[in-house]
Amino acid sequence: MRLPERTVMRSPWLLGPLGIAVVLLAWSLISLSGAVDPLFLPSPPAVLQAAGDQFRGGILLADAIASIRRVFLGFALSAALALPLGIAMGSNTLICRLLEPLLGLIRYMPAPAFIPLLIIYFGLGELPKVLLIFIGTFFFNTLMIMDAVKFVPRELLETALTLGGRKLPILTRVVAPYIAPQVIDAYRINMASAWNLVIVAELVAANEGLGKRISLAQRFLRTDEIFVGLIVIGLIGLLIDLGFRAVLRRSCRWAS
Amino acid sequence: MHLSVSGVSKTFGDGRHAKLVLDDINLSIDSGEFVALVGSSGSGKSTVMRLIAGLERPSTGVIAMDGKPVRGPGSDRGMVFQKYSLYPWMTAAQNVAFGMSLQGLPRALVRERTAYFLEVVGLQNDSRRLPKELSGGMQQRVAIARALAADPKVVLLDEPFGALDLQIRETMQEFLYELWQRSGITALLITHDLEEALLLAQRVHIMAPSPGRIVRTVEADLDRSNLAHLRMSPPFLELREELVNSLRNLDAAAS
């Protein structure tokens, strides 16, 4: 099928909402037709109703805050440590040779597989959940930053050297600004896994959180509440993603 | 200022993979001179420049600035690369100021010198533009201004106009020559373009490949009062043709 090109050309931003609208429409039609048991596929109004109930009761907000807090703590720790380590690995061959195989190996260990260990070590509190997010994102963040550093054009570094630059100023004034867009983008991409992992952690053990709410809803066969959880998780993730994009656009005008 | 390259050779790799890329290079440059190094690709001319800049070390021989051996890069030897050397997140003015600010010059002085050198290269009205908003020729002028602003004793130009269109290239050659005349800089130009070298430099070293070596040195004593005219003048064309032929013979012998 081809959309009338003129309309598309004039307002290409319409295409995104259009895609979402198509899915919503299909969902409504299927649930209206009664072809699927509402127990498996709740209708859009039922999901909206469930969302309203959870919002009024304050549960939705409390859950969202609990999940967001874990993600931010774990990810902030990961981002803050990955930046210096990634730069060190990208700019120093010895450090790179020493650590790259190790990090490359750990990266392929699925983070959820660390949950049993984390529970044994740290119990069921907040710490193991935050650490899970750290483990699941730190190695990717570090390796992506390392790669960004390795691809800083040689001319830029050598020019700084011939202008009288020394090692540390070159790192902070040439390497750091050059890789900034890639670092922000790496954070944006890995934030998505942080968001996945918090839900996994909460499915296993938590008192509150969006993942916890979903697993409780499953126990009571409340598919409408599961839908609410999924949609809210998706929306928050999308907002974070858009936030990173906005930061990137604003701070790195030169890179676009 | 006296820069000397004496008996320099350079080997890349070691053992069975060792390759001699430069063999017994000797040359020198004094204050205010404009010297060019011409050769086809593979003649090692860029390696000579990188050795002088201190970005690489010679395998044998000595490179010295005013008698002191070169041990690494330094702001006394400024460099202009062929392309992609402007910092893309800095405006033209910030690029020009960068070397001075790395050297810790006072801000007021940096600002004053930045404005001055932007004017020298004719970009005073483009100081706030990013490199991507400048044409190729303008970008190279910023790179030259940046190198000069750091106050080097000699400017090393590595194919500075190699990535530019022919017409802009000729304008830039005239610009560089005027700049050299006006400001009394000392310049070493690397180029594969014999015409460019003869047009601008008082002394031209011609290099041949495998291994890279200087095969001829020409004192190009020409009347440069009008470069556009000089390009077409019979003595210039004769000299150029003679050198082109000798270069061709060397390349044929090497391949």
Q: Which residues contact B24 (CB under 8 A, 6 or more apart)?
A: B7, B8, B9, B61, B213
Burial B63-94 (b: 16+ CB within 10 A, else e): bebeeeebeebbbbbbbbbbbebbbbbbbbbb
Query: pLDDT confidence of A5, banded at 50, 70, 90?
Result: low
d(CA A33, CA A41): 12
First to last CA, chain B: 39
Distance CA A221, CA A217 (A): 6
pLDDT category at A44 given cuts 50, 70, 90 is: very high
Q: What does the alpha-carbon distance between residue B158 and residue A7 come to, in Å, rounded to a whole number? A: 51
Break chain B down into helix, strand, coil percent, rounded to 5.
45, 25, 30
- Region A49-72: mean pLDDT is 93
Measured between beta carbons, which residues in chain B are less than 8 angstroms from residue A252?
Answer: 89
- Which chain A residues contact residue B158 at CB under 8 A? none
Cβ pairs A/B, distance under 8 A: 73
pLDDT of residue B254: 63
Measured from the Cβ of residue A234, the count of other Cβ atoms closer than 10 Å reads: 11
CB B187 within 8 A of CB B207: no
User: Closest chain B residue to A252 measured between Cα atoms?
Assistant: B89
Mean pLDDT of A184-206: 91
B54 neighbors B74 (Cβ within 8 angstroms): yes
The answer to whether residue A17 is domain-embedded is: no
* Average pLDDT of the residues of chain A: 91
| CA B10 – CA B57 distance, rounded (Å) | 8
Q: For B66, which DSSP code?
A: T
Taking residues A237-248, report their average pLDDT: 93
Q: How many CA within 13 A on the CB side of residue B153?
A: 14
Contact state of A159 with B130 under an 8 Å Cβ cutoff:
no
Sign of CA dihedral A84, A86, A91, A94: positive
- The C-alpha atoms of residue A149 and residue A256 are separated, in whole angstroms, by 19
A214 part of a folded domain = yes
pLDDT for the residue B50: 95
Q: Which amino acid is at A14?
A: L
Tokens at B175, concatenated = 């610009």
The predicted structure's pLDDT at residue A34: 86
User: pLDDT tens, A166-187?
Assistant: 999 999 999 999 999 999 999 9
Q: Kindly report the nearest CA distance between residue A154 and chain B, in angstroms.
A: 9
> Is there a domain that residue A73 lies in?
yes
**Residues 46-85, chain B, touching A (beta carbon < 8 A):** 53-55, 72-75, 77-79, 81, 83-85
Q: Are strands B2-12 and B60-65 parallel, antiparallel or unpaired?
A: antiparallel
Q: Please, which pLDDT band fits residue A69 given cuts at 50, 70 and 90?
A: very high
Smallest CA–CA separation between A159 and chain B, in Å?
Answer: 7
| ipTM rounded to 2 decimals | 0.90
Are A202 and A67 in contact, with CB atoms under 8 Å apart?
yes
Structure confidence at residue A1 (pLDDT): 56
Instruction: Determine whether A170 is exposed, middle or buried from the number of CB atoms within 10 Å of its CB (0-12, 13-18, 19+).
Output: buried
Beta strands B203-208 and B34-38 are parallel
* Beta-strand pair B2-12/B19-30: antiparallel
In a domain, A173, yes or no: yes
The model's pLDDT over A129-144, given as tens digits with 9 standing for 90+, comes to: 999 999 999 999 999 9
Which chain A positions have a beta carbon within 8 Å of B103's beta carbon?
Answer: 163-164
Question: Domains of chain B, with CATH numbers?
Answer: 2-76+152-254 (3.40.50.300)
Q: Which residues of chain B have pLDDT under 70?
A: 251, 254-255
d(CA A76, CA A74): 6
Is A19 part of any domain?
no
Kindly state whether residue A80 falls inside one of the protein's structural domains: yes
Q: Cα–chain-centroid distance for residue B222? A: 20
Of A156, A158, A163, the CB nearest to B150: A163
Alpha-carbon gap: B131 to the closest alpha carbon of chain A (Å): 9
What's the structural domain count of chain A?
1
Please, which residues bridge with residue B78 across strands? B155
Is the pLDDT at A98 greater than 80? The verdict is yes
pLDDT of A4 strictly over 70: no
A191 belongs to a structural domain: yes
Q: Do A159 and B55 touch (CB under 8 A)?
A: no
Interchain contact, B73 vs A161, CB within 8 Å:
yes
Query: Which amino acid makes up residue B48?
Result: V
Residue B215 burial (CB count, 10 A): 13
Looking up residue A159, the CATH number of its domain turns out to be 1.10.3720.10
A90 falls within a domain: yes
The one-character DSSP state at A175 is I
Q: Of B81, B130, B131, which has the smallest distance from its Cβ to A159's Cβ?
A: B81
Helix (H, G, I), strand (E, B) or coil at B249: helix
Residue-level pLDDT at B224: 85
Q: What's the domain range around A77?
A: 45-255
B160 by DSSP, 3-state: which? coil
Which whole number is the average pLDDT over A176-199?
94
pLDDT at A105: 93
| pLDDT over 90 at A6, yes or no | no
